[in-house]
Amino acid sequence: MITQGSSQTGTALLYVPGNSFIHRMNPLTKLVGLLWLAATTFMLPPGGMATIFVATFLFGVLAGAGKAFIKRLILTLGPFAIFLFVIHGVLIERHDTIQHEWISFSPEGAQYMLKILVRVAALLAASMLFVTTTHPANLLKALDSHGVPPGIAYLIASPLLLLEPFSARARAIRDAQQARGLDLTGSWKARVKAFPALLIPLVTLALSDLDHRATVLDGRAFRARPFRVVLDAPVDRPYERWLRRALLIAIPLQIGVLLWL
Amino acid sequence: MALIDIDNLVFGYGKAAPVLDGVSLSIAHGERIAILGGNGSGKTTLAQWIAGSLPRPGMTARSGTLHAEGKPWSDWDALKRAETIQFVGQIPSQQISGFAFTVYDELVFGPGNLGLEEAEIRKRADWALDTCNLRHLVERDPFTLSGGEQQRLSIAAALVMQPKALVLDEPTGNFDPESREKLLNQINQLPEDLTVILCDMALKPALAIARRFLLLDEGRIVADSDAQAILAHPRTLEVFGAPAVTEAALAIRAAGRWPEGKPLPLTYGQAEALFKEVSHAHG
């Protein structure tokens, strides 16, 4: 029963509430579309990959997720671009390396770096479009309503849901250990020494939680039947089903062509 | 046939002293029973046995048996067991499935696993939302709720399974007095044929819900009686104290001024009438 615009769901999610065309698409169609785009980026020249990047970015903006897109892309691609440039443009010596004063630079290396960067940017933007327009609850319902075993859906849901309580517990352990005199502000050596005092209770409590959670799931008859009954499953229009089938056929064909050439 | 039959159950973790030491107990359908005891008395372990969470590999009884409607839990399939008994533990955040992003989805998770019709799932969820006063939280992420709200949610999630028995392990531990009163009233309004087994180390919730009381001490049942007898038991007073009105009556009785055969008051309402009677009797 996820309503668009619900603001009280977990803060760890990148989902941006909205009612755009992409928001309304069935999550499985978007997931298959993402897989198809990922396969396609390996076939296209840099210009094609850049087109995918720009197109997905624009779709993201139209879906109302422009801010989230820009923030994540800068945070991820910025350091990655610098790293790639240093490795391929400067450090790796190529036949066209130009030595200028104290720095060497390879135009071919920079071109290669751009190729990788554009591909990663296209993949990242496509993934961002998926996560910002798909609430995980809807993805779970779509998986459940298509007969995907509940265990697989649980593997997707539980990390997203448990991330926040897990972080809160980590903070509580840190505060409790500091109150008992654990020094977390000293040298890096002191911090490394203090690390087990934070990690061990966190892992122990997480394992204890697992035991309880397993009991709860048993009590609620989880996996007692091969499939679950799902309420408010996302709409799956006939054209989306056909589109998914077409894309699922295209993906192995594209990979085959890529390997053949 | 009894809902639960336990015969001389001895159970301990590893090689340590037994947590349950020769427990024998029979629980009938529709009973409202409180298992009382101090810290480490074995309440939670007994509750886990009753609910079928035990035995598990490496955690088996040293001796004795437990039968639910005539057969051990190990002979039950997961579906039937979930429809028969539900357990709500002490720590609210550990009672959440980790599968649902909203309170409503948490509620419909169990019935969805049972494979019920959609209309039936919605009907049950609506009833549980009202019973546990959760309607205003329906869109919230279960992990962002307060401890008391999470506890109400876990009770509601157990109720939507429509079990024959509900085992509650210290259900009001995270509640303020007002919320506790509300929850106890709500539990009292549950269908009469639902067996409620409450484990607690506080007398007040037990007195509000139960009609039969067990006192567990070092893994043994030392009393199995009604409220009057349990309050008069010396271990009850040592472990829990007594409600203030009962304490006052006990002091009057110790002074030899309590009428022979008169029951001790458990609530303020009962105390008012009884104290007036005692006061008149002694001028």
- B200 SS3 class: strand
What mean pLDDT comes out for the span B180-184? 86
Contacts of B138 in chain A (CB under 8 A): 1
Local confidence band at B282 (pLDDT 50, 70, 90 cut-offs): low
B263 has pLDDT over 50? yes
Q: How many CB atoms lie within 10 A of CB B197?
A: 27
Helix (H, G, I), strand (E, B) or coil at B124: helix
As given in the structure block, the two tokens for residue A197 are 């005092």
Degrees to nearest 5, angle at CA A160 with A159 and A162: 65
- Name the H helices within A87-187: 107-133, 136-145, 150-179
B171: tokens are 């259900």
ipTM of the complex: 0.83
pLDDT tens for residues B19-50?
Answer: 999 999 999 999 999 999 999 999 999 999 99
Q: Shortest CA distance to B60 belongs to which of B18, B109, B120?
A: B18
* B118 lies within 8 A of chain A by CB: yes
Q: Which residues on chain A are in Cβ contact (under 8 Å) with B115? A: 225, 227-229
A91 is written with which tokens? 């450090």
Exposure pattern of B239-278 as b/e (b: 16+ CB <10 Å)? Answer: bbebbebbeebbebbeeeebeeeeebbbeeeebeebeeeb
Residues facing residue B32 across a β-bridge: B196
Task: Please report where in the chains the tokens 């443009």 appear, as a residue.
Answer: A89
Residue B283, pLDDT score: 63
Contact B144, B135 (CB under 8 A): no
Task: Tell me what pLDDT residue A12 has.
Answer: 62
Pairing mode, strands B195-200 and B32-37: parallel
Residues 6+ apart with CB under 8 A from A172: none
Q: What is the token pair recorded at B16?
A: 């340590």
Tell me what pLDDT residue B161 has: 96
pTM of the full structure: 0.82
pLDDT for res B7: 96
Q: Write out the two tokens for B228.
A: 């009057």
> Does the beta-carbon distance from B122 to A162 stay under 8 Å?
no
Interior/surface letters A141-177, b for 16+ CB within 10 angstroms, e for the rest: bbbbbeebebeebbeebeebbbebbbeebbeebbeeb
Could you identify the residue written with the tokens 């029963």? Answer: A1
Which helix (H) or strand (E) covers residue B141, if one does?
A: none
- Among B13, B45, B97, B140, pick the best mutation site for testing chain A contact (most A Cβ within 10 A): B97
- B86 contacts in chain A (CB < 8 Å): 219
Q: Do A150 and B113 touch (CB under 8 A)?
A: yes
CA proximity to B133, closest of B202, B194, B185: B185
Closest residue in B to A155 (Cα) is B99
Q: Which residues of chain A have pLDDT under 50?
A: 1-10
Task: Search chain A and give the residue with CA nearest B82.
Answer: A219
pLDDT (0 to 100) of residue A8: 45
Sole residue written with tokens 């590893």: B14
Contact (CB<8Å) B94/A212? yes
Residue B1 three-state SS: coil
Residue A168 contacts residue A205 (beta carbons within 8 Å): no
Q: With an 8 Å Cβ cutoff, is A10 touching chain B?
A: yes
What is the distance between the alpha carbons of residues A100 and A212, in angstroms, rounded to a whole number?
64
State the CB neighbour count (10 A cutoff) for residue B105.
26
Q: What is the pLDDT at residue A3?
A: 40
Instruction: Identify the residue whose tokens are 């298509």.
Output: A146
Closest CB from A164, A225, A231 relative to B118: A231
Record the tokens describing residue A119, joined without a space.
């591909």
How high is the pLDDT of residue B265? 83
The residue in chain A having the minimum alpha-carbon distance to the alpha carbon of residue B81 is A219
Give the domain ranges of chain A: 12-135+233-261, 149-226
Q: Which two structure tokens, joined as six digits, stand for A196? A: 């087990």
| B12-16, B208-212, B229-233: range with highest mean pLDDT | B208-212
Q: What is the mean pLDDT of chain B?
A: 91
What's phi and psi for B215, nearest 5 deg?
-115, 120
Q: Hey, which residues does B168 pair with through a beta bridge?
A: B88, B198
Place of tokens 């024959």: B164
In chain B, which among 209-238 make CB contacts under 8 A with chain A?
none
Residues 6+ apart with CB under 8 A from A89: A105, A106, A109, A110, A113
CA A100 to CA A257: how far, in whole Å?
42
Cis status of the peptide bond prior to A27, with omega within 30 of 0: no
Token pair recorded at residue B24: 């024998």
Please state whether B8 falls in left (phi above 0), alpha (psi between -120 and 50) or beta.
Answer: left
